[in-house]
Chain A
Amino acid sequence: MNDFHIARTDHTPEVDFRFSEHCLTLAGEAYPEDAATFFQPVLSVLERYLGSVDDCDIEFNFQLVYFNSASTKMLYRLFGLLHDSACTSNRVVIRWHHDPEDDTVLEFGESVHDDFNALEFVPIATPLAAL
């Protein structure tokens, strides 16, 4: 399956899905006017990828610093897809990058961890500038 990339804008994150390396990254900020329209293609391509792999180690790098409520809902759907895959056919590690002082992003990570317990959750405290 071809790798999938969307460049970052002011309102939308960089999507860097390297399916060939089983390494998926989401970085930047997410507050598009219409979150569903932005995320729908991302979810579709992820779903197709997850349907095409089996017994695989998948790494997901979460590097968002801001996401509005509508994007948060879309992120939940994304983690839902990863969770379903981790329950049935693959191993998924979520590397949760957050600034050491950013309790907002870490708190969201913890709720994702609680809700999708099939995902291995690795919080990584790194200053934003290093990303």
Chain B
Amino acid sequence: MEEAPSVSPAHTSQDVLEMLSRHPHLAGLPVVENGRPAGLINRNLFMDEMAKPFRRDLFARKSCIAFMDKAPLIVPESLGVQELSFLALEQGGKTLKDGFIVTDDAGVYRGIGTGEALMRAVSHLQAEKNRQVMESINYAGIIQKSFLKASREALSETLRDHFLLWEPRDHVGGDCYLCRPFEDGVFMALMDCTGHGVPGAFMTLIMTAFLDHVLTASLRRDPAQVLSLVNRKVKTALGQQGGRLRQPDSSEQSDDGMDAALLWLERGGKKLVYAGARMPLFLLGAGEAEPVMLEGGRLGVGYVDTPMDCVWANQEVVVEAGMGIYLSTDGLTDQIGGPRQIAFGKKRFTAFLQAHREFPMMIQQARLKEAFQIYQGDQKRRDDVSVLGFRV
């Protein structure tokens, strides 16, 4: 709000004319009667009117209220910026052009506000709120990264030739991974929890904690059993024992879970056990071999629709020397882009793997990122993207 000169109905249009020329920056001149706002004179409208033939002769000596807006927006100074901006919008463009009148809580005239000042205040408020949210999310991102750090280091220690691409869409996300070395091998998991952003990140913490807890030494060679136990835990913890259809009155019920692929890789790298829940495993043998995709189970882990006693299957792979082994979340294959604006797709992914089979994994990662970025083009990222690739 700014303090502004005002006139009373006793002033004439001639007085207003003089006042406006003395204060060239004023867009509107408030009319105040007995301390209370009576209306607002818009400079441009007033000037236009007075410029018309005979107007000056007719009105110059009459009360200035002839040309005032009798219903400008009048607000108490205690009103918040957000409420004020909604009120201003309700009045159409008028308030932004002419400004508005500010009173104290008792309705006594205090000053005027301009549309420009209001816009500025709204922008500041918006920027400040944005900054707070982004700061909070960025910090959550630091926590999520440090949470994953141990697994990332374990991967580097156990797998000589590997890459792990982890790109959450919104700083934090629902994709995560776990790597736990044992004496006779290593257990790995790639998980795509429901949601992305902050809710997705919440789910990764829950899922990783459960997986961590379930994964005992005796179960390390049995990833399918690990999936079953995590499923049971998630469903119990999130109260997902209900029926198939979510009732309208039960909107509080969680229907969350994850797609996941779990791997047990024996020391020496000859044998791999894979169990997948809606997440396939891609294998690419050395030489000219065609890529092979092992499909996992079709049900996700957790979720209302997945039964409490759901079982997944272990699939054993005899790992040949030089074989490339890949896992990916659907954020990669489902991303919209390319000339046809369709999903990246599994075919394009396996074709990429074939074309880059000779390269070390780190180079494959760089090339994949590049190819994916080009495919995405100016489309928005739809989901979190994670890809794990390794050779033993």
Contacts and interface: CB of A to CB of B under 8 A. Distances in A.
B303 A103 contact: no
Nearest to A40: B248
B192 A69 contact: yes
Contact of B346 (A33, A80, A103): A103
Contact of A66 (B245, B303, B334, B340): B334
A29 B342 CA distance: 11
Q: Give chain A's interface secondary structure class.
A: helix
A121 interface: no
B97 interface: no
B303 A73 contact: yes
Contact of A68 (B245, B248, B305, B383): B383
A128 B342 CA distance: 8
B343 interface: yes
B330 interface: yes
A51 to B, nearest CB: 14
A66 B330 contact: no
A54 interface: no
Contact of A104 (B192, B248, B303, B342): B342
Contacts of A31: 382-383
A80 B195 CA distance: 23
Contacts of A37: 251
B259 interface: yes
Contact of B340 (A10, A29, A101): A101
Contact of A65 (B197, B244, B342): B342
A68 to B, nearest CB: 6
Contacts of B341: 65, 128
Interface string B337-373: 0001111111100000000000000000000000000
Contacts of B334: 66, 68, 104
A44 B300 contact: no
Nearest to B195: A70
B298 interface: yes
B6 interface: no
Interface in A60-113: 65-66, 68-70, 73, 76-77, 80, 99, 101-105, 107, 111
A69 B343 contact: no
A102 B345 contact: yes
Nearest to B298: A111
A56 interface: no
Interface residues of A, number: 27
Contacts of B199: 33
Nearest to A99: B342
A107 B280 CA distance: 14
B74 to A, nearest CB: 37
A127 B340 contact: yes
Interface string B209-247: 000000000000000000000000000000000001110
A81 to B, nearest CB: 9
A102 B343 contact: yes
B248 A69 contact: no
A6 interface: no
Contacts of A29: 336, 382
Contacts of B346: 103-104, 107
A104 B333 contact: yes
A36 B383 CA distance: 18
Contacts of A107: 346
Nearest to B303: A73
A33 B380 CA distance: 15
B194 interface: yes
Contacts of A44: 248
B298 A65 contact: no
A69 B255 CA distance: 11
B298 A69 contact: no
Contacts of A127: 340
Given A69-B259, A99-B342, A105-B342, 11 more contacts: A29-B336, A31-B383, A33-B197, A36-B246, A36-B255, A77-B244, A103-B345, A103-B346, A103-B347, A104-B334, A128-B340
Interface of B: 192, 194-195, 197, 199, 244-246, 248, 251, 255, 259, 278, 298, 300, 303, 305, 330, 333-334, 336, 340-347, 380, 382-383
10 contacts: A36-B251, A68-B383, A77-B245, A99-B340, A101-B342, A103-B343, A104-B342, A127-B340, A128-B340, A128-B342
Q: When A and B form their complex, which 7 residue pairs have the shortest distance between CB atoms, in order from nearest? A: A104-B343, A102-B342, A99-B342, A103-B345, A104-B345, A66-B336, A103-B347
